[in-house]
A and B are shown apart, each in its own frame.
Chain A
Amino acid sequence: GAGVSQSPSNKVTEKGKDVELRCDPISGHTALYWYRQRLGQGLEFLIYFQGNSAPDKSGLPSDRFSAERTGESVSTLTIQRTQQEDSAVYLCASSLYGQGNTEAFFGQGTRLTVV
């Protein structure tokens, strides 16, 4: 596609429910990243995919968070048993290869609100 696409753009969920956030990277980009951005805060790294594997999961805040990527394309970030502290904008980015050697293009984000 022309850019990184994320869905839904907004999600309101009740505390304790599971949510799935989707990211469609730019076609051909082998690297994909998930970030979390709380209101007024900087970007917090969550996980990085190279192809379908995740060499760096160091940013996942707890075992309630998981992510997968299939077909070296679409990625899904799943948050189980959501908590109010999970409320944030979740941003996805993709790059042609590598973690820092090429520019990362960001999607618009999914704004998650846990009530």
Chain B
Amino acid sequence: KNQVEQSPQSLIILEGKNCTLQCNYTVSPFSNLRWYKQDTGRGPVSLTIMTFSENTKSNGRYTATLDADTKQSSLHITASQLSDSASYICVVTYNYGQNFVFGPGTRLSVLP
């Protein structure tokens, strides 16, 4: 079954600290993986997209990694800010781009 799992389910950190969110998937054949940020009450916004051949990609303080062999991805947030408080959703596209699966998300809270 094509599934995407994320951990932790929720995370609380202090402003300025770093954190790493995990995404594991079982989908096949893999096309690409995206991380989305969803602020409360808003639609998700794409942070990064990674294809099979990419190991790491950065977008400002966000750095995503992908290990296609172990089917794992991580999203590392550096020097967190209060505005980073949101849900982070991992989305995996498969079947040559025809289908995708959303993970359940990780709820991040950054406290002052």
A positions within 8 Å CB-CB of B: 4, 35, 40-43, 45, 56, 91, 93, 98-101, 103-109
Give the chain B neighbours of A42 by CB distance below 8 A. Answer: 89, 102-105
Alpha-carbon gap, A98 to B32, bound state (A): 13
Which of A4, A56, A93, A104 has its CB near the most chain B CB atoms (within 10 A)? A104
Q: Could you give 12 example pairs across A and B, Cβ below 8 Å?
A: A42-B103, A91-B43, A93-B43, A98-B98, A99-B97, A100-B94, A100-B100, A101-B31, A101-B97, A105-B43, A106-B44, A108-B41
Number of interface residues of B (CB under 8 A): 22
CB <8 Å contact, B45 and A100: no
Give the chain A neighbours of B34 by CB distance below 8 A. Answer: 103
Interface of B: prevailing SS:
strand
CB <8 Å contact, A99 and B99: yes
Alpha-carbon gap, A18 to B93, bound state (A): 34
Determine the residue in chain A with the shortest Cβ distance to B105: A42
B95 to chain A: closest CB distance in Å? 8
Interface of A: prevailing SS:
loop
Q: Encode B30-69 as 1/0 by CB contact (under 8 A) with A.
A: 0110100000011111100100000000000000000000
Determine the residue in chain B with the shortest Cβ distance to A6: B43
Given contacts A56-B99, A93-B43, A99-B98, 17 further A-B contacts (CB under 8 A): A42-B103, A43-B44, A98-B97, A99-B93, A99-B99, A99-B100, A100-B31, A100-B93, A100-B94, A100-B97, A101-B93, A103-B34, A103-B46, A106-B42, A106-B45, A108-B41, A108-B42
CB <8 Å contact, A4 and B43: yes
Alpha-carbon gap, A27 to B99, bound state (A): 23
Alpha-carbon gap, A90 to B88, bound state (A): 18
A23 to chain B: closest CB distance in Å? 11
Determine the residue in chain A with the shortest Cβ distance to B98: A99
Q: Encode B82-112 as 1/0 by CB contact (under 8 A) with A.
A: 0000000100011001111011110100000
Give the chain A neighbours of B93 by CB distance below 8 A. Answer: 99-101
